[in-house]
Amino acid sequence: MSRRPFIAGNWKMNKGPRDADALAVELKRLLADHAAADVAVAPPFVSLPAVIARLQHSGVAVAGQDLHPEVSGAFTGAVSGEMLAQAGCRYVIVGHSERRSLFGDTDATVAAKLRAAYRAGLLPILCVGETLAQRDAGQAQDIVAGQLATALAGLPLDQVLQLTIAYEPVWAIGTGRTASPAQAQEMHAGIRAWLSARYPREVPATVRLQYGGSVTASNAAGLLSQPDIDGALVGGASLTAESFRDIVAAAG
Catalytic amino acids? 96, 168
- Which stretch, 15-23, 137-145, 151-159, 228-236, contacts ligand PGA (CB under 6 A)? 228-236
Does 212 bind ligand PGA (CB under 6 A)? Our answer is: yes
- 94 vs 199 by CB, closer to ligand PGA: 94
**x/- track of binding to ligand PGA for residues 140-169 (CB under 6 A):** ----------------------------x-
- 7 vs 60 by CB, closer to ligand PGA: 7
- 82 vs 165 by CB, closer to ligand PGA: 165
Does 10 bind ligand PGA (CB under 6 A)? Our answer is: yes
Q: How far apart are CA 205 and CA 2, in angstroms?
A: 8
Residue of 213, 219, 220, 244 interacting with ligand PGA (CB under 6 A): 213
Identify which of 250, 61, 20, 240 has the alpha carbon closest to the alpha carbon of residue 164.
61
Shortest spacing between CB 125 and ligand PGA, in angstroms: 9
- 31 vs 42 by CB, closer to ligand PGA: 42
- 212 vs 231 by CB, closer to ligand PGA: 212
Does 81 bind ligand PGA (CB under 6 A)? Our answer is: no
Sign, CA dihedral 20-18-50-65, equals positive
Beta partners for residue 62, in sequence order: 41
- Which stretch, 21-29, 100-108, 194-202, 233-241, contacts ligand PGA (CB under 6 A)? 233-241
3-class SS of residue 14? coil
Which CA distances in Å does 193 have to 1, 124, 169, 198, 246?
16, 21, 18, 9, 30
Identify which of 129, 133, 117 has the alpha carbon closest to the alpha carbon of residue 214.
129
DSSP string, 19-52: HHHHHHHHHHHHTTT-TTSEEEEE--GGGHHHHH
Does 174 bind ligand PGA (CB under 6 A)? Our answer is: yes
Radius of gyration of the chain (CA): 17
Q: Which residues bind ligand PGA (CB under 6 A)?
A: 10, 168, 173-174, 212-215, 233-237
